[in-house]
Amino acid sequence: MKYLSNKNGFLGIDNKFSIKEKVIIVPFGLEKTVSYGGGTKNGPREIIKASHQVELYDEELNCEPYKKIGIKTLKPFKIDKNIKKALKKISNLNEQILAKNIFPLTLGGEHSITPGCIKPFLKRYKKLYLLHFDAHADLRESYNGEKFSHASAIRRCLDNKNVSVISFGIRNISQSEITFLKRNDSKIKIFWAKNKAKWNLVKFKNMIKNKNVYLTFDVDGFDSGIMPATGTPEPGGLQWDETLNIIKLAAKHSNIVGADINELAPIKGFDSYNFLVAKLAYKILAYKFLIK
């Protein structure tokens, strides 16, 4: 695996700083099945660029988390146009990273990468819980004739018997997905966006307590007012503080083993959206490694 220099990688850290890494950032701008707005292939590049403006000191945690974590960023590489081959590539990369006992954080690209991302985790853990942030359930069997569509990402993950899903922010779902959800309600728990005021996070905490959790974050889970830079923006979504609270709970009570962030479609001249995703990535890592 080839890496960017510290200066050019995630957070743009001074090259003089060196620490044994606990995290590898994987830029994986797959864009194959987008069905509305495009541009997700540019997401990883713009997230990394924006991360150079993220303040390294975290006032909540009273430290500079990167100094306690150690982060390397893979050099961008060619992604196969064949989606099955692309998914195999990300699976192999995560397998290599896990073999080093390092935490992989993949920056997509579209959400269709997640079934590939989690494959090596399924070999390592008898049971894996997906903590899924999204506007959409992504439970379709296929979409536009493609079973590996971004609209089928969570359904493909659930093809594995040892996967369960806890979703936050869902507010767009099809009739066929409702049917599938009802048939599989023992493996899928949804905290619907419309019920935000009534969410029982103690119940969530108990669901994930001492479990192995993989975090998958589609940025359209955020309300379109703060995150319009995505292919399928939806009103009525998650706000920043409530999102961090959920991730913090997961970090405190479960073992977060890996993560991906998807579906940023950068809008030229509106860097604040890229910055939001870069800061989200840094907070996920800070909580994972520093929250007790």
CATH of the domain at 218: 3.40.800.10
In a domain, 104, yes or no: yes
Give, for all 292 residues of the chain, the pLDDT tens digit: 899 999 999 999 876 667 789 999 999 988 665 544 457 899 999 999 999 999 999 999 999 999 999 999 999 999 988 899 999 999 999 999 999 999 999 999 888 999 999 999 999 999 999 999 999 999 999 777 778 888 899 999 999 999 999 999 999 999 999 999 999 999 999 999 999 999 999 999 999 999 999 999 999 999 999 999 998 899 999 999 999 999 999 999 999 999 999 999 999 999 999 999 999 999 999 999 999 8
The answer to whether the CB of 30 falls within 8 A of the CB of 44 is: no
Q: What is the DSSP string of 128-179?
A: EEEEEE-SB----S-BTTBTTSGGGHHHHHTTSTTEEEEEEEE-B--HHHHH
Is 1 within a domain? no
Report yes or no on 3 lying in a domain: no
- Asked if residue 264 is part of any domain, the answer here is yes
18 in a domain, yes or no? yes
Domain hosting 75: range is 10-290
Sign of the CA dihedral running 271, 273, 274, 279: positive
Q: Is residue 4 a part of any domain in this protein?
A: no
Angle at 125 between CA 120 and CA 129, to 5 degrees: 95
Question: Is 49 domain-assigned?
Answer: yes
pTM here is: 0.95
User: What is the length of the chain?
Assistant: 292
Q: How many domains does the chain have?
A: 1
Asked if the structure places residue 2 within a domain, the reply is: no
